[in-house]
Amino acid sequence: MSELPETARARIGQAEPAIPDVDWTILMARTQDGDAAAYLRLLEEMTPYLRSLAARRHHDQNDIEDAVQDVLLTVHSIRHTYDPARPFGPWLVAIANRRFVDRLRRQSRVRARETPFTAAHETFLDPQANLEERSDRRRLEGAVDDLPAMQRQAIRLLKLKEMSLKEAATASGMSIASLKVATHRALISLRKMLTDRSNT
């Protein structure tokens, strides 16, 4: 077993766990020759290692798993470009670092466009405090019914049924990112609709 080069460790910011470079190099070479069993073994052995790398960049478990999947998909799509004469570890770490950085940049761009929840948004999120009176409930339900389908589904699953993002994604078939965007847009629309209706 050989450790990753110092430059790779420096990029991550701390020493990496040892990587079975020779074994993984052999497995990848066999994968390129069409050995499905070698490929499966390589993926199974790489995944915990990639998870430990991703955990250094991401804190949310869903982000870690998504980052690992990004790397695995990239490795799969460019596996034919790997040169078995070179060590596998640095090749894998370079791909992982690029994918992690790409993901962090994407998340930064999304966060820059998102509006944080405020007290005004929270008005619609507490069913016990805000929906006790029937007239308020009817107004809110009517406003939710007027939302576009994706926004309506996101609000019902996440806010009215109080599902987690992961549960709502499974139930709806939407990605977590799509659910977040739909919920954000729905809350803005609901606020406007309920304000307009209370003024009429």
Q: For the segment 9-66, what is each residue's pLDDT rounded down to a tens digit?
A: 444 344 445 566 668 889 999 999 999 999 999 999 989 999 999 988 888 888 888 8
pLDDT of residue 13: 42
pLDDT of 8 over the 50 cut: no
Q: Is 34 left (phi over 0), alpha (psi -120 to 50) or beta?
A: left
Domain range for 33: 6-113
The answer to whether position 79 is within a domain reads: yes
Choose among 190, 147, 153: nearest CA to 171. 153
> Are 94 and 133 found together in one domain?
no
Q: For residue 95, which of 127, 65, 66, 73 has the smallest C-alpha distance?
A: 73
For the CA atoms of the chain, what is the radius of gyration?
Answer: 23
Q: What contacts 152, CB < 8 A, 6 or more positions away? A: 144, 145, 186
Confidence of residue 139 (pLDDT cuts 50, 70, 90): confident
- The last residue of one of the domains, among 54, 87, 113, is 113
Residue 148 has a pLDDT of 87
Residue that terminates a domain, selected from 66, 90, 113: 113
pLDDT at 51: 92
Question: Domain check: are 82 and 161 in the same one?
Answer: no
